[in-house]
Each structure stands twice: as C-alpha cells, then as structure tokens.
Structure 1
Amino acid sequence: MKQRLQRKLKILVGLAILAMAVAWTGQPVPSSHAAIANSPAGVSAPVALDSPGEQGFARVAHAVTPAVVNITGSWGARPRDAREFRDRKEDFFRFPRGPYGPMDPWEPRGGGMGSGVIVSPDGYIVTNNHVVQGASELTVTLPDKREFEAKVIGTDPKTDLAVIKVDARDLPYVRWGDSSKVQVGDYVLAIGNPFGLNSTVTLGIVSALGRGRMGITQYEDFIQTDAAINPGNSGGALVNVRGELIGINTAIVSRTGGYQGVGFAVPVTMAKPIYESLRETGRVVRGYLGVGIQDVTQDLAELFSLEESKGVLVSDVAEESPAERGGLKRGDVIVGYRDMPVEDAVSLQRMVTRTPIGTEVPIKVVRDGREKDLTVNIGEHPDAMKVARAEHQESTSALAGVLVREVDTQIGRDLGLNRKTRGVVVTSVLPGSGADRAGLSRGDVIREINRQPITSLQDYEQLIAGLKEDQRVLLLINRRGASLFLTVKV
C-alpha cells in the first residue's frame, strides 16, 4: 500500500514538472519578432510588434529603443524661464514660474538634454518644445552612438511639441499607434534618457486618460502613467505592448524633483496631427470659435435655469469672431457640438481645435432656459484669444469684505483693459470671506451683478444694496483680459 502511494506521488510530481516546463517554454516567438531581430542594421523597418508574447516587454524594448534618441543643445544668454520650462522638473509639475521668490531673469550660455522619437526613416523626430526651445545648436545621438546635427522644423508651445530633423536615411523608427484605443490599466513602457542614462526603459500602466486643467500646457489631453519618468525623459516615447507609439512623455508631478509615480504624456491623437502639420507647413492650424468659456457649476446651473451642471458657459464672445457671426451670446450654455454632448470646457476646447477650418458646425445652446440651435463656421485660431478658468469653490457668505474702486483710465491701462471695459476693480478681498471662497481676487474687474451692467461705483453700490440674505449673486468679472462668471452666496 505504502509503495503504491509513493509510486503515485512520483508520477504526480513528474507530471507537474513536465507541465511547468511546457508552460515556461511552450510560447513560440511570433514571426514578426524574428524578422525584426534578423533585419540587417540600418534597414528601414517599422518596429511595431504583432503580439507581446511571454517575454513581450523585452521584445518591445529591443525593438523600440533604437528609435529613441538623446537630444543635447546649447543656448546663448536667454530668459531663465525658458530653461525652467525645458525639463518641467521643479515645483509641483516641475514647471516653475517664479512664485516662490525672485530669480535672476537671465542665465549664461549653457546646455541641456532631453529625448526624442524617430517617427520616419528619413530622420523626422518628435520631441517636446521645451527640450529644443531657443537652442542655437542641437545634436541628436542614436543608441548606436551615431551623432547628427538637427534642425528645428517647427514647434507648438501650446501643446509643448516640436518636430526636428536629421539628415540621414534608413533610420529605425517607431510606428504610430492609436491612443484612442488605450484603456486605463493597459501596460505601457516609457523609453528615454533620464539623467543622461541612454536607452532607459521603465514599465508601468495607464493610470488615467484625458487629464486636463493641469496648468502644464494650454491644450491638454494627457495620458497619465506610473511608468518612471525623470529629468531627461522629456520628449521620449510611451509605447504599448505592441511597440506602437501612443504618447510623448512630457511632465511629471513631483515635490522632490524625481519620480513619484505620476507622469504625463501627450497622446498621439494630438501629437500626430501636430507633427503632420509642422512637417508640411511649419505651423499648426487650429479651429477657432471665439468665446471665453468656463465649466457649469451647480450654482451656475440653477442661476441659468439648467436641469444639470453640464455644458459650457459662454463668459465672453470676441468681436468679429465665428461665434459672434453665428449668433452665440454671453450667458449661453453650450450643451452640444456637432451632435455630440459637451460635458465641460476641456472637451469643447478639444473638439473645436480639431475641427477643420471652414466647417459649418451645428451648436446647441441653452439660452434663458430654452434650447436653441445655431450654426457656426469655424475659423482659424488667432494666438491672441484668451480663455479664463475659475477655481469653482462653494460660496457661503456675502460680498462683505470686498473693497472696490472705479475703473479709471490709469487703472484700465495698468490692468491692460479694453477701452470699452467698464466696472469696478477689486482692491482687496477679506481672506475666508464668501467672495474669497467663490474665487474673487484682487485685480478682478466686476462688470455685472445679476446680469445688470456696472458703469460706475454708484451702480455697484446700488446693486449690492438691493441684495437679500441667502441670495445667490451672479458676477461677471474681467480677469487678466478674459471674462468669467462667478457665484457668491449672500
């Protein structure tokens, strides 16, 4: 009996060992992997992989790394802010603007370092604008130690992207992927040159999609990842498990100056059209509506007779803009664009900028509690247009604690106001007051109270005198040249 049990145990152990051996060695290498591995050096072959396989991460790294380059540059004396912008590795987003004290506004000639991604065999490279901004000389070094001088084809500071080119052929390159198919939880690899350590590969997942309002760039739709990104990774590749480019690594959130698990990459759905536009024309053309916009809070939804706090509130309409010609007015709430629902300001901005110039676009708005259909012909985006953002905080008290004075010619000039702008300028806001919690700040110009215009200090005093306790007050303000609605509860 005992011998039979021992015999059975030996058989079971043997089968288990055999099963493990099959599990470890039974995955064949896909033919595409073998083709890439056996390709002669310098042959222009896309590095996209059909399947990650069991050892897929190593295969992806092996295939993509040759196309991720090191970029070094030199600058003459220039504004320090340009240098600080380059690596985005200081303060919270590693993107300081000098809020913690004065800085010497100029720095001497120096050098910098970043990464870039070869996206075509004839030498076109995508990187970050802050990697190349203001450089008098650029040198691109490939992982195989070849060096090339590079020239800037075009830059787009609004998305922090740039295209440069080296004079070479048959270079390894990364195939464009489709970031619209990326899901939270997908594995990704970040490849770049952190701290000058060439061809560094880190692994992580997609932590979030569509990150906006980060204050990193003007147009934001970031992929968030926990793959380690550090100084020098800027402009490097974020790829999926098929070795396809899905993002350009751009910034990190850090209180220490190094990796803390939160990195951001510009998705290729944004990067690829910008690359194509810069490559073809040297500039980026964006759709333009011509409105100042802000999100709809619960308080604003009630004041504008909305059933829910969705959509985008129009706080200003530029003169002679597509919006004005199409009939949009201040106070309209945009709830639909090209038959798609509009959730917030970031989503509308994204839709408009990606609309071809000259397109007739149906727009649905809510005006005075009623839906209205408009048609707007999208124009080309001028650099001068400004969009304000509010810190939407709950208001629980009155306008008490707010000191104002009438806007005269000198104040208007100091604040850079349009000559037609009328109202009262806020000179002080009591910390902790309702106005403070609502987001009202020193320097804001109050133009309307409850949709009633203010042309003088007397108008202001008469309007606030008529306010009742527990009443919500709707303010239209001008902040640094852009219009914005705020709500304060009396």
Structure 2
Amino acid sequence: MKKLGLTLLTALVGGLIAVGGYKLFEGKQESKMSFEERQELHYVNNPVPNVVSSTGNPDFTQAAAMVAPAVVHITTTYPGRSGSSSYGGDPMDLFEEFFGMPRQRQQRSQPPAQATGSGVIISEDGYIVTNNHVVVDANKIEVQLTDKRIVEAKIIGRDPNTDLALIKINEKGLPFVRFGNSDEVRIGEWVLAVGYPLGLESTVTAGIVSATGRSTGIIARELQQRQFQQRGYPQSDEEPMINTAVESFIQTDAVINKGNSGGPLVNANGELIGINSNIMTPTGTYAGYGFAVPVNLVKKIADDFIKFGRVKRGLIGITFTELNPAAAKELEISDVNGLYIRDVVDNGAAKEAGLKEGDIITKLDGRTITSSSDLQERIYRLRPGDKVKLTYKRDGKERDVTVTLKEDTSAAEREAERDSETKRSATEIYNKLGAGFVPANDAKKKELGISSGVVVTQVHQGGLFDYFNVQRGLVITHINGKPVNNSDEVESALADSERGIVRIVGVPQRGSRVELNMPIEY
C-alpha cells in the first residue's frame, strides 16, 4: 500500500513538473509565434463550440455576440488642425469623407482636431488591427473598449500600400476575433460589418459578399497625394509617381459608414475575413458598397510588424498590363485574359527565371490570374526568398517556371534616404527653436516630481520659442514623446517630428504640466 501511494505521488509530481515546464516553454515561445499560431494556442487551451451558420433564415446572434466585444472605438488627435462638424466635403476623397480627417495643415490658431474610427483586437495581449488612414499623422491615439475603459495606444507599424496599421494597448486577457480564411470567401455568402459608424456606439450590419479581388484606386490616389506633399512640387516626366498600392478588396453590401473604417468584416461563423477600409459613394455616406482588405493579407502584414518591424515585400520584378479586349487590340494579340509583361527588371527575379517581355502570365501556383489585383495581393503575402510557380504563355504555348522572389530594395533605399534627411533636418529644427538648454539637476527634478528634463536658459529673438512665447525657466521633460536630459537628446528627439510639428511637454517653475504643439514653419 505504501508502494502504491509513493508511486501515485511520484506520478503526480512528475505531471506537475511536466505541465509547469510546458507552460514555461509556452511563455518563452509565444513572442516568436505568428498571430494565427497565438490564436490557435488560445483555442486549444480554451475550446469553444462551433457556430454553425443558418441554412434557412439567417441568424447572426451568435456571430455578433462573439465578435462585438473585440471591436474597439478609436479616437485620434491631430495638433493644430481643424475638425469638421459636418459630413460635407469632396465626396470623391473617400478617405476624408469616410473618416472625416482633413489632410492639410490648418492655421495654428485652430484647436487640435479629433477624428474617430474602429479597430479589432486580434490577440489577448492588446494587439489591434485598424486602417492606416485611421491613425496616420495622429499624435495621440485612444482606444475605448466595450466595457467603456479608455486606454492610450501606440503604433507598432503602418503600411500605406494596403491601408493597414497595427497598434497596441497595454492590457491582458482581452477578447479577440478569430482569423478566418479570405481565400475561402464566396460571392453570395452572408457577412457582418461591426464598428462605430457616424458617432454611434457599437453597431452590427449584415449583407453579402458582392465580389472579391476588387480594386477601387483609392489607396493609389492617397499614395500619390502623399508623394506630392513630400516633394512639394508637381510630377515630372523624369520623376514619375511610384504606385506601390495593393488593392484586392472584398466587396460587400453590408452597410458601412464613416467610423466603420478599420473595423472587422466577419463571416457567419464569427471569423475575421477582412478589415473594412473604404466605400464607393457619390455622397460621402453609404450608397451600396463597401470594401475590406482580405484577412490573409492582414495576417501577413501584422506578423511582419512583429517579426521585422516593417513589411517585407518580395518582388517578381516585372511591369505588366492587365489584358482585356481593348488592351489585346492595342498590343495586336489574341489573348484577352492574363497579364502581359511589358518589361523585365534587370537582375530581378523574373529575369533570372527566364521570363521575357511579351510573355503572358496566366496562373500563379496553379490558380488562374484574371486581374492585376489577383497577382499583387498573393505576391504581397510572401516574403523575399519565397518561391512561386508562374504559368505563362509564349508563342501560343503554356509553360511553367519557378520564381524566387527578391527583396524590394527600392523601399530600403527610400527608407535610408528618409533617415539621412531626418538627421539633417533635426539640426535645422534645433537651430530654429532659438533656445539654449542645460540639464535639470537632481534637486530640480525632485522638486517638480519628474525623472527627466532640460531647463530653457535662453530664448533668442526670432526663434520658434520666442514666437510662441516660451519662457526661460521652463523645464522640458519630453520632445516628440522622448525623454530629454541634455542638448544632444533634444536634437535627437527633434528627428521624430512628424507632419512639421514639434511636440513638447514641460513643467514651469510654478504650475502644472504644459503641452505645446509647434509647427516648424510658422
């Protein structure tokens, strides 16, 4: 009997050690997992019954109950920009109409603007997917959860090419929406759109999938507008605009309005199949069709932000024309379907694989390519080094070739160029401040209850500080969100000025904390 008891005790202890070891291993490995793997791990440990969609009269109560708690209301603040209390404006500027966010800098006398959108939680530890246009240029992002708590969020990554962004809040144990598979979405199936439209609380609307693989051109137009803004001068033949937009939307007739932007599109099982991005409308409000970024693309973008800090884009290295009867006539060919290769990039993946100008791409990994969006969206899901099988026509015969994608070096070069410009401009901004600084001593920090700071000792006539009436003696604790303790740190922090705005947090000798948002050009 004693032997049996000892055996049972040994087995119990061994089991506890094994479980504890598994949990420790699980915790260490989770940071390396993709979001899809994290979700699967959660559901293995917390199984839930399957939700079966109705085959008769549709009933979305279970799906809505599963999704709604994980949909959040996002409020963003923009310094020195005016808001809009109406829903007017240019109805074809869908980003502004849908989200109500002006694009140009306003006069400094106008108060900070606020705008709102939606987002969807994709992990229990606070990662949230939304649209890039919901958070771009914001200097403050607040997230309201369904239990009415309001917490500040930080941007993990933005991808203007797909209009997606990943943000995070410091919370645990949150409800999240499980990923579906956008490749399995079928035209005619029921879907739900969830979000915070037109200033309302959480709202659910239903409709069907009207089409897939749709391109509206809205992301391309937004990218072009930003390139104009960054250049500050019109396009020329020598410097053509670069179109890196990826559009292959799920089209739905579920009602979507301003404020739904960034919210989820889910199927009847409550699975995430897309992120609502824009609408097609002659009026600026819902007129029949909305468009969502497919979730399989969302998963790749979110995972890239976590693993690499940016989107890793693999390229085939071709320029092409989408074939249709008109294009075929112009090119004097008989094929009206596929992608006609106009040029092959030197040292690119296609060139190395033997593809040539005049070849017609008809399939990708065995799936027929009917539009440019089919190819772009599927390639954007992949990374440099991944292999794809392309089927193409040459001399009337179909052939197969394996292409190894290459890294988008132009993006890295543009990023390096921006970094160089930022370092140069940081010194210029520092000089524009027209001020002198000394480190705050420990006694001063203790007196003011701060952990970092520089004291403004000089204010030169004609500088920014003089113009905005910044007084000597102000202790600046943060610039552009970074703590500062000396002049070098001040200059370094100035490099993070966005949209021509320097954000300063300081404490006067007497009084409460002050926040200043100063435009660099005044």
- Which digits, 9 at most, give the CA deviation of each residue in 1:81-112, with x for residues without a partner? xx99xx99953361479xxxxx9942354221
Aligned mates of 1:219, 1:367 — CA distance in 2 = 27
Aligned mates of 1:47, 1:89 — CA distance in 2 = 46
2:201 pairs with 198, 202, 226, which one?
198
Partner of 1:275: 302
Matches within 5 A, 1:281-430: 281-298=308-325, 300-301=327-328, 306-369=333-396, 371=398, 373-383=400-410
Name which of structure 1's ranges 196-205 and 214-223 shifts more when overlaid on structure 2.
Answer: 214-223
**Cα deviation, residue 144, structure 1:** 1.1
Which has the larger share of helix? 2
Partner of 1:19: none
**Cα deviation, residue 49, structure 1:** 5.2
**CA separation of 1:157 and 1:299: change in aligned 2, threshold 3 A:** closer
Partner of 2:140: 137
3-state DSSP of counterpart to 2:153: strand
The letter of the residue matching 2:157 is: G
**CA separation of 1:96 and 1:313: change in aligned 2, threshold 3 A:** farther
- Which digits, 9 at most, give the CA deviation of each residue in 1:221-261, with x for residues without a partner? 21111111111110111112222111111111111111111
Matches within 5 A, 1:58-457: 58-77=61-80, 90-92=90-92, 94-95=94-95, 105-107=104-106, 109-216=112-219, 218-298=245-325, 300-301=327-328, 306-369=333-396, 371=398, 373-383=400-410
The letter of the residue matching 1:199 is: S
The letter of the residue matching 2:336 is: S
Q: In structure 2, list runs of 5 or more residues that go unmatched.
A: 1-44, 221-244, 413-522
The letter of the residue matching 2:185 is: V
**CA separation of 1:345 and 1:203: change in aligned 2, threshold 3 A:** closer
**CA separation of 1:88 and 1:203: change in aligned 2, threshold 3 A:** farther
**Cα deviation, residue 67, structure 1:** 1.0
3-state DSSP of counterpart to 2:393: strand
**Cα deviation, residue 76, structure 1:** 2.6
**Cα deviation, residue 326, structure 1:** 2.6
Partner of 2:51: 50
- Which digits, 9 at most, give the CA deviation of each residue in 1:332-387, with x for residues without a partner? 222344344433322222333234422344434334555555443211234569xx
**Cα deviation, residue 196, structure 1:** 2.0
3-state DSSP of counterpart to 1:319: coil
**CA separation of 1:375 and 1:190: change in aligned 2, threshold 3 A:** closer
Question: TM-score normalised to the size of structure 1?
Answer: 0.61
Aligned mates of 1:206, 1:187 — CA distance in 2 = 7
3-state DSSP of counterpart to 1:277: helix
Q: Does the aligned pair in 1 maintain the 2:191–2:265 contact within 8 Å?
A: yes
Q: In structure 1, list runs of 5 or more residues that go unmatched.
A: 1-43, 98-102, 386-490
Question: TM-score normalised to the size of structure 2?
Answer: 0.57
**Cα deviation, residue 302, structure 1:** 6.0
Q: Does the aligned pair in 1 maintain the 2:194–2:202 contact within 8 Å?
A: yes
**CA separation of 1:251 and 1:360: change in aligned 2, threshold 3 A:** closer
**CA separation of 1:47 and 1:114: change in aligned 2, threshold 3 A:** farther
Aligned mates of 2:73, 2:96 — CA distance in 1 = 24
The letter of the residue matching 1:207 is: S
**CA separation of 1:343 and 1:104: change in aligned 2, threshold 3 A:** closer
**Cα deviation, residue 46, structure 1:** 8.2
**Cα deviation, residue 174, structure 1:** 1.2
Q: Does the aligned pair in 2 maintain the 1:93–1:252 contact within 8 Å?
A: no
The letter of the residue matching 2:376 is: Q
Q: Does the aligned pair in 2 maintain the 1:150–1:164 contact within 8 Å?
A: yes
- Which digits, 9 at most, give the CA deviation of each residue in 1:395-431, with x for residues without a partner? xxxxxxxxxxxxxxxxxxxxxxxxxxxxxxxxxxxxx
Aligned mates of 2:273, 2:399 — CA distance in 1 = 39
3-state DSSP of counterpart to 2:75: strand
